[in-house]
Every structure is written in C-alpha cells, then in structure tokens.
Amino acid sequence: MLYKNVAKPILFKIDPEKAHHLVVGGLHTAGSIPGVSHVLRSLWGVKETADLAVDLFGLHFPTPVGLAAGLDKNGVAVQGFSSIGFGFMEVGTVTPKGQSGNEQPRLFRLPPDEALVNRMGFNNEGIDAMERRLSTNQRRRIPVAINIGKNKLTPNEEAYKDYQECIRKLYPYGDFFVVNISSPNTPDLRNLQYGSELSSLLSHIMEEMQEQARKHNNSKHILVKIAPDVSDSELESMVEVLQTSGVSGVIATNTTLSREGLNHSNAKESGGLSGKPLSNRSTEIISRIYSQSHGSLPIIGSGGIFTGKDAYEKIRAGASLVEIYTSLIYEGPDVNRKIHAELRKCLLQDGFSHISEAVGADHH
C-alpha cells in the first residue's frame, strides 16, 4: 500500500523516464548500503515455497516470476531488484557500444489501459560498463540473465558479430543469456526473426556460446525473445528454426505495435506497447509454441501479467517461468507477493502439488 498511496502518485506526476531513473537509481543505492537489502526483503521479499520453486536451464529459481529486460538496462540495481521478491531478472538490452537511443520523450504511460508505450531504442552504456558492474556483483540471490542486442548502426547482415561480441565479453557474468531480435524500436531488427536470417544468426550465436563454454569450462543457456506481431505461418517457421538451432528456450513475448482497444491519447505514440492489452496475445503465442514443440522448448511467458491468475494462464498455456515489467510500474513491489500467493491458490484449486505439473496443462 505504501507504493500505491505514497510513491506512485508522486512518480506518476513526473516524466516517465525520469521516474524510471529515480526508481532504478534508488534501488541501486539501497542495494549498496549494508543492511538495506535486508530491509527491502522484509518489506517486499517473497518467501521461497517448495510448490513454486523451479529448476530449469541448470539453475534454481526461488519463484517463477522474474523481472523482464528494459528496466535495469545497465545492470546497476541487481542487488535491489533481487531483494523485492523476484525469482530471477534480466539486465539489458545491452549492445557492444553504448548508445543514447531514440530522442526523448520516448516513454509514455496509458493509465486507463494499464499500459506503457516505449520507443527507447536500446539506450545503454555498452558491454564494458555492464562487465564492470556485473563483475563486482558475483554474489547473487537469484539468477541474472543478460539480454543482448545489436547496435543501431550495425547492418543486419553483420548483426551476428554484435551478438557474438556481447557473449564473448559478458559470458562469465550472465547466468543465462537472451537474444533480443524483437524490439520494434531498432530499425529492421525484427527482420532477423525470420527464415534464413534467423537460422544464420542463431548458428553464429551458438558457435560463440560453444566456444565460450569450452574456454570457461562452463556451459550456459541462451534463449530467444520473440515479437507478438507475427502471423501463424511466421511463428510456425520460427519455432522450427528455434528447435533445430540448439537454443535452450524462448521468451514470449516482446512489446506489440498493435493499438487495438486502447482508450488513452498516448496510444497514438509510436513504439512498443506493454501491459494489460498485450496479455491475451502473448498467452496465445505461448500456447502455439508449446503445442508445436510438444513442450520441448521451454518458454518464459511475458506480457500483461498483473495477477497470479494472469501468470497461471500463461503457465497452463505452456510457460515454465513468467516475467513482469509494466505491472511493477502500476502496482509497485507488492505485486510479487500478490502474484505468488494467488499462484499457490490456483495450483491448489487444480489439485497440483508443484508448478511444473501445471505447465501446458491446457494442452493435456
């Protein structure tokens, strides 16, 4: 209630991007002061329970709800975010060279729709800054994934070099990796999701992952984040490529360009839409991937999760883990405890003793 009654009214009065920096900066500071992480955990932490803990990708996730990429772009607040109830988190999207992203304003709230529109454009400080931060932060409470992208000026035919460079530099510091080829805010990036472009890109990426695994004597997993704005046939061919590429799983989905059924004037802004309006579409994509791959391709579900019921729908559709972003902005850090408690109720109602039994239950 502290967030909704006190912090949110203040944050929602100021520019969304400034509010974003305030929150991430605040969590960075909090995480670096001895004892404050403990205070954050007592306020907003989520107690691990046997029915919701997940073992996947060779990692232990104390809860199935993670923080999606985009909030902590530069890995500055890993300690802070680790203390407010997440089971894992993504940092990034990071690109080899730092870049300023698109012109401001580039982040917009749509309060009646419980949504955000962003056209940030992979603004980040680059892989050297990410390495500096993550190398000093090796004691982690939760798995941290590094979400990697290409620089805006890198042509698509050379994109694989950017992804390889990110992996080479950051391999020791990520618990797993996510290939972002689905942001709508980098020109032509989404073209990398299809056909021969996708299969060529992934074969270069997997080569680099294998090379680094040999070098560090430590094998790590890599997932691909896909867009919701794809046709059935495009999705089908994507899943075929993903299954044969050797990647470990898929994140479904990124933001959407659709503006269907929105009420707020900011709907006219260009960029990717996240939040409630994305919920059904991302669940539908999860369901199709699970069905086509017969559950062999692990899925992290993302898009419009505000409640335990929302998360559970994605899990029953085929997601093994889920991620939130927009609901954290609207609901505050209480959202993790709420989702966790509701998820446990959903499992109980359906007679499942562990979350893994509910994964893909709609298909059985």
The answer to whether 277 touches 261, Cβ cutoff 8 Å, is yes
114 contacts: CB under 8 Å, gap ≥ 6:
275, 276, 306, 326, 327, 330
Q: Which of 7-11, 72-76, 120-124 has the lowest mean pLDDT?
A: 7-11
CB burial string 219-252: b at 16+ within 10 A, e below: ebbbbbbbbbbbeeeebebbbebbbebebbbbbb
| pLDDT at residue number 138 | 67
Contact criterion met (CB below 8 Å) for 298 and 57: yes
CB of 96 within 8 A of CB of 166?
Answer: yes
Mean pLDDT of the 354-361 span: 98
The 10s digit of each residue's pLDDT in 180-230 is: 999 999 999 999 999 999 999 999 999 999 999 999 999 999 999 999 999
Average pLDDT of every residue of the chain: 96
Residue with tokens 């680790």: 82
What's the whole-model pTM score?
Answer: 0.97
Is the pLDDT at 286 greater than 90? The verdict is: yes
* 265 pLDDT more than 90: yes
The tokens 């009214």 sit on which residue? Answer: 9
Nearest to 200 by CA among 228, 161, 154: 161
Among left, alpha and beta (phi > 0; psi -120 to 50; other), residue 190 is: alpha
List the catalytic residue out of 183, 279, 320, 327.
Answer: 183
Residues 256-280: what's their mean pLDDT?
Answer: 97
Q: Which residue has the tokens 């990647």?
A: 247
Is residue 77 within 8 Å of 24, Cβ to Cβ? yes
Q: How far apart are CA 310 and CA 27, in angstroms?
A: 26
In this model, does residue 282 exceed pLDDT 80? yes
Which tokens go with 32? 């670096």
- Burial of residue 357 (CB within 10 Å: 0-12, 13-18, 19+) is middle
Q: What is the band of 1 on the pLDDT scale with cuts at 50, 70, 90?
A: low
Nearest Cα neighbor of 254 from 233, 291, 285, 231 is 285
* Mean pLDDT value of segment 15-20: 95
Q: 307-331, pLDDT tens digit by residue?
A: 999 999 999 999 999 999 999 999 9
Q: Using CA atoms, how far apart are residues 340 and 238, in angstroms rounded to an integer?
A: 32
Q: Choose which CATH entry (3.90.400.10, 2.40.50.100, 3.20.20.70, 3.30.2130.10) describes domain 2-363.
A: 3.20.20.70
pLDDT tens digits, 127-184: 999 999 999 876 789 999 999 999 999 999 999 999 999 999 999 999 999 999 999 9
Print burial letters for 181-201: b (CB count within 10 Å at least 16), e (below 16): bbbbbbeebbebbeeebbbeb
Quick one: average pLDDT of 102-113? 97
Contact 300, 251 (CB under 8 A): yes
- How far is Cα 125 from Cα 151, in angstroms, rounded to an integer? 11
Residue 84 DSSP class: T
Q: Coil, strand or helix: which one is 209?
A: helix
218 CB-contact burial (10 Å; exposed 0-12 / middle 13-18 / buried 19+): exposed
Q: Which of 19-33, 103-117, 155-169, 299-313 has the lowest mean pLDDT?
A: 19-33
200 labelled catalytic: no
The rounded percent of the chain whose pLDDT value lies above 90 is 95
With beta carbons less than 8 A apart as the criterion, state whether 209 and 163 touch. Answer: no
The residues facing 300 across adjacent strands are 251, 321
> How far apart are alpha carbons 337 and 301 in whole angstroms?
18
Q: What is the CA radius of gyration of the chain?
A: 19
